[in-house]
Structure 1
Amino acid sequence: MLTGHAPWVSCSTRDLVPDDRLPSWQRALSRTFVDVEVTVEQDRPWDGDLTADRLGVLQIATQEFGPGTVLRGARAVAADPRTHLLVRRQLEGTARLLQDGRTAELRPGDLAFLDARRPFRIVLPERQRARILMVPRALLRLEERQLHALTATVVDESAEGAAGLLLPLLDGLVDEVARAGSLRREQLARAVVDILATVALEQAGRPPEPADLWVRITESVRTRLGEPGLGPQTIADQHGISLRYLHQLFQRHDTTVGAWVRTRRLEAAHEELVHPATAHRPVAAVAVRWGFTSPSHFSRAFRDMYGMSPAQWRRAAGAVRAED
């Protein structure tokens, strides 16, 4: 990446056999940034290229990858002690960053921050290219509440204030790092960190976007009710929030994650049991379709909610239709 010497990390999947590409790419990302899990659609072509250099407290990387998803879940956060901030400057293509209940849709020229100390998700719908700067959290001199307000928010050059002025300068400094000698690189790296601190402070002070996290989470869960493994940790990881924050969100709506999911599943099964198009489907099959792995557990939960067994409900609804 930097001229005149070999980069600290250099990885390309293009010359690897297909079975080796994904594990090699995941190892490269985890070594360069923080421990993450990478997923790709096996029926879609993809490849990845990564170069990275360390310059004192600053790390600069250029990454080309996609389509695919990069997840840092709660287990990875607990196992990996690195607590840096990742600053993503989108160069080509698009990316979707999810953390702390927010989603940042990045287009070329946009910038966003991610905090490695909390779960996040990066969705890449296409092959794209980005520059990623990695800096210790303490160097941005932000309070914890400011960091929570900063993550997964879009900074772009059209913004008023410091960001609009400093982002082009940031790009110029990073490019200059690639051409400078060793001593000069260290000085430029410190200047880059100072600019990031200024941009982050201004961005963290902006009013938050309207909260639609509850709607996004519940709409997403409704589309996945049939997945037996759909649980709080899976939901939290998908939306880039901590498990604790997810539970707090559901508590604000006077429910729990498990109770809300179970109720929606029972409602869906209740409707399907009496639908003419599925009248032939066994009760056990309906239970499995909506995420219940145990028919007896499904029957008990159904009776508790509706006062009759699934079979009784189906017969009663059929008798009503016959009378009509």
Structure 2
Amino acid sequence: MTTPQIAWHGGVRVVTDESGPAVTVRSARDIAADGDRHMAARLQTGGEVSLLQDGRSVRVPAGSLVLYDTGRPFKIVMPERQRAHILAVPRALLRQEESVLRSITPMVIAPETADDGEGTTAGLTALATAMLEELIVAEPPVREHLARAVADVVGSLVAEHVGSRRRAAEPRELLWRRVTGFVEQNLGDPELSPQRIADRHHISVRYLQVLFQQQGTTVNGWVRERRLEAASRDLVRSGAHRRSVAAIAARWGFTNPSHFSRAFREAFGASPMQWRDGAHSRARIGDSQCGEGKVGPTAAA
């Protein structure tokens, strides 16, 4: 095993690691002892390793660049002889929130596969790779400037990756609006189900469930809430006393009046009839008070 060569250049640490087969483990005790909390960019120039952090495992073949956090425990498994250049970058140079850095590490980028639709990620990865290789052989006066330049490129890679993730999430937001709009328009259909909603939008039921879970709810729960809200508004509209509670329930997709009454009471703390009668009673009292001059601008006049 070759001892890694370590050098500091303008706050950026550069390591060339030639070793293996071996397993490198950085524990919470190690982190507490040395206080090293850099972000590491590892350029795998030979052999292949696996890196595990935060319960996520990534394969890092030769030619790939992997980003990980030295401030959190990790393990690198080297099943064969391997070689890598490692750039340890101060976290501030990446200009990202801690929650973002935690969510994207470990992150692997391979020049031949990286693609964000415009080639930006692939281009930045190739640039970082070339600059890291140059940094290893550069003359000492140049290394400090080159190290900071590589750190800036790695920071740009992280920013581009974060931006790609956000762009990828935008269609999900549009899908959410389409799905919920469809549900709102079909609340009265008793056959409205997760399967029908998923089929209508050409997605799996599992993906539909995940979509709603990300909003802190479930498909059936969200549909039931919208139906109950619509029914509650119908119950207090003018003339609602001329329609039965069962008819209003059926209008909003509830085929079982008993089930509707139980769900309504759980949601609003009153039965549908109490909700309706209470609203009309309050309306009659308000009208009476206005007529007696007790409230309202007319009385004041």
For normalisation by structure 1, the TM-score amounts to 0.47
- Pick from 64, 69, 84 the counterpart of residue 18 of structure 2: 64
Q: 1:168 aligns with which of 126, 130, 135?
A: 126
RMSD: 1.9
Deviation string for 1:164-218 (max 9, x for gaps)?
A: 001222222233334544443222222111100011122244549xxxxxxxxxx
Q: Report the counterpart of residue 140 of structure 1 in structure 2.
A: 94
Contact 2:68 2:107 (8 Å CA) reproduced: no
Structure 2 partner of 1:83 = 37
Evaluate the alpha carbon distance shift between residue 121 and residue 204 of structure 1 in structure 2; reply closer, same or farther with a 3 A threshold: farther
Q: 1:181 to 1:103 in 2, by over 3 A?
A: same
Query: Which residue number corresponds to residue 203 of structure 1?
Result: 161
Q: Match of 1:154, SS?
A: strand
Alpha carbons 1:88, 1:112 under 8 Å: kept: yes
What SS does structure 1 have at the residue aligned with 2:66?
Answer: strand
State how far apart, in whole Å, the 1-side matches of 2:159 and 2:4 are: 29
Q: Deviations over 1:10-39 (max 9, x none)?
A: xxxxxxxxxxxxxxxxxxxxxxxxxxxxxx
Q: Match of 1:132, SS?
A: strand
In the alignment, the residues of structure 2 paired with residue 126 and residue 181 of structure 1 have an alpha-carbon distance, to the nearest angstrom, of 31
Q: Does 1:100 align with 2:100?
A: no
Q: Which has the larger radius of gyration?
A: 2
Counterparts of 1:178 and 1:126 in 2: how far apart (Å)?
23
Aligned counterparts of 1:94 and 1:188: Cα–Cα separation in 2: 26
Q: 1:189 corresponds to which letter in structure 2?
A: A
Using a 3 Å threshold, how does the CA distance of structure 1 residues 88 and 168 change in structure 2: closer, same or farther? same
Measured in 2, the distance between the counterparts of 1:76 and 1:177 equals 28
SS of residue in 2 equivalent to 1:50: strand
Relative distance call for 1:165 and 1:74 in structure 2 (3 A) is same
Aligned to 2:74: 120
SS at match of 1:126: coil
Specify the alignment match of 2:64 in structure 1.
110
> Given the superposition, is the C-alpha separation of residues 207 and 175 from structure 1 closer, same or farther in structure 2, using an over 3 Å criterion?
closer
Q: Which runs of 5+ in 1 are unaligned?
A: 1-46, 209-324
- Percent identity over the alignment is 40
> How many residue pairs align between the two structures?
162
Provide structure 2 residue ranges, at least 5 long, that are not aligned to the other structure: 167-301
Q: Which has the higher helix share?
A: 2
Change (3 A) 1:178 1:117: closer
Distance in 2 between the 1:126 and 1:184 partners? Answer: 33
Partner Cα distance (1:136, 1:142) in 2: 11
Which of 136, 153, 157 is equivalent to 2:107?
153
